[in-house]
Chains A and B, each alone.
Chain A
Amino acid sequence: MSLRRLVAIVAGMLAVALVATACGGGGGGDDQSAQTLSIEWGEPENPLIPGNTTEQNGGDVIDALFAGLVKYDVNTGQPSNEVADSITTTDNKTFTIKIKPGWTFHDGTPVTAQSFVDSWNWTALGTNAAQAQSFMEKIDGYDEVSTEAPTAQTMRGLRVVDPQTFTVTLKQPFTIFPLTLGYSAYYPLPQKFFTDRAGFEAAPVGNGEFRFESRTPNQNLTLVRNDQYAGSVKPQVQRLEFRVYSELQTSYDDVVSGNLDHVRAIPSAALAGNRWKTDLGAGARQKEGLVTDSLGFPLYDPRFANPVLRKAISMAIDRQTIVNQIFGGVYTPATGYATSAAEGYVPNQCGEACTFNPQRAQQLLAQAGGFQGPLTLTANSDGGHDPYMQAVANSIRQTLGIDARYQPVPSFSEQRRLANSQQFTGLFRNGWQGDYPDIETFLTQLYRTNASSNDYGYSNPAVDAALSQADQAPTVQAADQGYAAAERLVLNDMPNIPLWSRPVIYGNGSRVAEAEHNPLNRQDTTTYRLNPQG
């Protein structure tokens, strides 16, 4: 082949490729996009199954596709019955759950008591390796089904009485159990899931306000309104598009310039100086939430054994100044482990120990015998924690005069590896998102001996006893008081320094009339409305 011909062929191929790709573009019809509300999103980490989803991206779609026994109010977070007609108990150990008639899945099959029982049993069964498995751990018979080699296939604590009724027996009384049932792990599953798993994962079938339409991996996922939805508040917008973004800042710019309708968080660059409020106007939304940031101590390291030292460090952190400078004053400095959106919240539980007081902090440090060597603070640098971790380290260093340094690790998985293998050598950053709006969600899983997220290695028999006592209290109110008492006991030991609570903040574009999150930072897609076209 002559060399000149080769050049011509290569050039020709390039030209064809350019023309071909140029023709490949073009969007959908304008009518369709006029009735579609687009939402910033990320790829879910697991298949879209309620019992296998505990992270936000998957959870947001699951929440629109499914409806649970209980629903949390969009403004207050108060639970009320949704699919459940009634949840009754006499001993706070066995609960009788009746479900409302008339609920159907998107494929037309009815939602029955069996749908819930099958779903919960699937999530609990060890061989299914479900992410939300531990949410079933309070149910009687969980221990037999949850291991790698289960000795039973179903939990004996779940019993179907008739198609509309089932009973749940727990291992021990747990008074606030009904108000935990709005969490996505407790959603029902249709028969299709058990007969055609691959088909279900490709096109999930739920009982919620939106039906699955299509999904292009790593690009977007669309849902359409379910006109057969049996819930009390009907969905309004015709279609939702969950669009995958890799940078929060880009999605925020898209909302500001009108290419996107809803962003689920606000980038810290826009929080600084409250720029987001001028950018978004009425679309800048904020409410109290259930997310807290804190700094945990590795109590397995003897240098941190003294609670007086731990309090000294806590009191050396100027929370309000850091919140003002880095978060535009939007976050709330913590005065305890729970947030004010949680039921049973008591203000100022931490008292002096969470208040910035340089003199007292220095006194306590001296009383604890000082601190030897550098004090490291660790967080994963892929989570946007660097600015405030740096500020906290500075605050501690300047107040106490010890060599406090921020030492980031590259990724969240590395942070978790250190936590799981108990290899932290200094303070580590902890983020906690409450699963349900009760003070208990901030305590049991974090501070009970050997609890699943007790990364501190903290153990105090008095706290364990107080939590158990609260679990078994006769009323929800008495239970919440018990939890608050346990919270004070934990704070007195200070295994984990409360920093601040993050409100639920999100942004709506100019086309949106209303699109709200509830205090659990879950999207309530029944509220979503677009402005009328004019």
Chain B
Amino acid sequence: MGRYTLRRLLQLIPVFLGSTFIVYALVWGLSDDPFAGKCGQRACSPAYIAVMTERYNLDDNIVVQYLKYLGALFTGDFGQTASGTEVADVIANAYPTTIKLAIVALVIEAVIGILAGIVSGLRGRGFVDSLVLVSTLFLISLPVFVTGLVLKQVLGVELGIIRTSVPNDPSIADLIVPGFVLGSLSMAYVARLTRTSLIENTRADYVRTAVAKGLSRRRVVGVHMLRNSLIAVVTFLGTDLGALMGGAIVTEGVFNIRGIGGLVFKGILQQDTATVVGIVVLLVIVYLIANLVVDLLYAVLDPRIRYD
């Protein structure tokens, strides 16, 4: 498994270079006038354009520009936003919040989703099963912003149970409702995935063997069936964690969570290249590592899968 991990880590390098280069080129290449809109309702002065062209090496060829940026990056210099703040500082402020929100959402969707899936999968057709199917269908059909705005309006504005926005440096309790909103869609998928896999495996040979051996039902379900049924669910949760770590633009906006998603969104609108590329660099690494961890977890769950 060690060699496999090493090989996967080495593969990260070309993927990292390729994706960051594409992002860098796209953000600067988005518009043929990188300074449009930077000076309010008027065109920027030639003096301003000259200074900024110099600062961002815009006179160089795009490859040279990218290499210069990368060189600075490897010395730990993420560059500065247009307002003169270090991008590294901005990320360091926003990222803990994004991680907290991602973990809360993941825990909520995993616990509720898997439990609901197990219950409906084991019981078979009946009231509980129909309830899970209908309620997940309902969640899947609702866009996240609707869930978010409705919960905020009802729980926050009308009933006053929760705050309508999340404070800076939020605690886990502050993030439960936003985490639920963010995880609600995936929760529905997790429940359905778990349910389907369980039903499929109920009739598998190894389950019949386990029952025939006289194992307790709890052991048959908990150790033999679940472990095999969860492969698809873990894949889904792993990629979802990667996506959640990339920030959640809509949920962050609704509850004013100062995370990474809103930062990227605003950076793109304002063409603040240093912010966008800096964050994307980080996200690429996070996403690649999350995928690697998922692949390694397969081996844990299914002894038939080996990496040598």
Contacts and interface: CB of A to CB of B under 8 A. Distances in A.
Contacts of B41: 416, 430-432, 453
Interface in B209-263: 252-256, 258, 262-263
22 contacts: A17-B103, A26-B169, A43-B266, A44-B83, A127-B47, A129-B45, A129-B50, A131-B48, A134-B42, A147-B46, A217-B89, A219-B168, A246-B262, A251-B256, A253-B153, A257-B157, A414-B36, A416-B41, A416-B43, A420-B36, A432-B41, A452-B43
Task: Give the most central of B37, B41, B46, B303: most A CB within 10 Å.
Answer: B41
Given A17-B103, A55-B40, A147 B47 contact: yes
Contact of A382 (B31, B48, B269): B269
Contacts of B256: 245-247, 250-251, 254
A417 B47 contact: no
Contacts of B93: 216-219
B202 interface: no
Interface string A129-152: 111011000000000001110000
Task: Give the most central of A7, A47, A217, A254: most B CB within 10 Å.
Answer: A217
Contacts of A75: none
| Interface magnitude class on chain B | 35 or more
Given A134-B42, A417-B36, A25 B300 contact: no
A220 B157 CA distance: 23
A492 B205 CA distance: 88
Contacts of A14: 103
B163 A18 contact: no
B288 to A, nearest CB: 18
B295 interface: no
Given A44-B83, A129-B47, A216 B157 contact: no
B18 interface: no
A421 interface: yes
Contact of A244 (B48, B258, B265, B270): B258
Task: Give the most central of A10, A24, A127: most B CB within 10 Å.
Answer: A24
Describe A's contact surface by its main secondary structure: mixed
A412 B266 contact: no
A256 interface: yes
A233 interface: no
B278 to A, nearest CB: 13
B83 A46 contact: yes
A436 to B, nearest CB: 15
A421 B43 CA distance: 10
A27 B174 CA distance: 12
A413 interface: yes
A505 to B, nearest CB: 20
B171 A133 contact: no
B160 interface: yes
Nearest to B46: A148
B37 A133 contact: no
A452 B83 CA distance: 23
A526 interface: no
A257 B39 contact: no
Contact of B47 (A17, A133, A412): A133
A-B residue pairs, 9 tightest by C-beta:
A25-B171, A413-B37, A126-B47, A417-B36, A129-B51, A47-B84, A416-B37, A416-B36, A148-B50
Interface stretch (B59-67, B94-102, B111-119): B94-102
Contact of A45 (B83, B163, B297, B300): B83
Contact of B270 (A17, A245, A254, A413): A413
B170 interface: yes
A411 interface: yes
